[in-house]
Amino acid sequence: MNITAFIGSSRAHSNSEHLTDVVLEGITYKKLYLKDLHIEPINDLRHDAHGFQLVEDDYDQVIEALLTSDLVVFATPIYWYSMSGIMKNMVDRFSQAIRDERFPQLKEKLTATEAIVLAVGGDNPTVKALPMIQQFQYIFDFIKMPFTFYIIGEGNKPGDIANDKQALAQAAILNKQLKARTL
């Protein structure tokens, strides 16, 4: 099982990355640090006479990950009650990616690519991040990706997630289930 984690934090060693490490402990996977990629915001040319234009940035790495993974993790800090802006820009570009003639197989591939969301935030996230979870569901429904699990952790300062026993317990169970599937 090929796995890629999109790491959406602006910090190194972020809480959301740490939670990802727990979920995928002992499992081979690849990380894509969005903060280290140059990803342009979407330029919505869906209805332009010439359609979308090729963008010279690192987005092909995202598409490549989607095309080669059986499971993708969206690991994001909860900034202002939703995913980070750099992750949002990545998601916004899906609109162009699924129309990109260089990757005609992408749309079909996504329907067989499982999605997991791991999010960590500081202001009562198990309630106030619920709209974000609903949005991820809508996103995955639109591109027909199976959305199989999410964990919302609590944390502000670096390392805080280590104190969220509930989130860690959920991560440990998920880790066990994923390990069983990767054997």
Name the residues that contact a copy of itself, by CB under 8 A: 9-11, 35, 41-44, 46-47, 77, 79-86, 88-89, 91-92, 94-95, 123, 126-128, 130-135, 137-139, 142, 147, 150, 156-158, 165-166, 169-170, 173-174
If we measure between CA atoms, which residue out of 139, 142, 141, 164 comes closest to residue 151?
Answer: 164
In the complex with a copy of itself, the residue whose CB is nearer, 68 or 156, is: 156
Integer Cα distance of 142 and 153 in angstroms: 26
Integer Cα distance of 179 and 159 in angstroms: 25
For the bound state, the minimum distance from the C-beta of residue 97 to a copy of itself, rounded and expressed in Å, comes to 12
Q: Which two tokens stand for residue 181?
A: 């599937």
> If you write DSSP's letter for every residue of 66-103 in order, what string do you get?
HHH-SEEEEEEE-BTTB--HHHHHHHHTHHHHTT-TT-
For the bound state, the minimum distance from the C-beta of residue 67 to a copy of itself, rounded and expressed in Å, comes to 20
For the bound state, the minimum distance from the C-beta of residue 87 to a copy of itself, rounded and expressed in Å, comes to 9
In the complex with a copy of itself, the residue whose CB is nearer, 66 or 91, is: 91
Residues in CB range of 21: below 8 A, 6 or more apart: none
In the complex with a copy of itself, the residue whose CB is nearer, 68 or 126, is: 126
Residue 122: which region, alpha, beta or left (left: phi > 0; alpha: psi -120 to 50)? alpha
In the complex with a copy of itself, the residue whose CB is nearer, 2 or 146, is: 146
For the bound state, the minimum distance from the C-beta of residue 78 to a copy of itself, rounded and expressed in Å, comes to 10
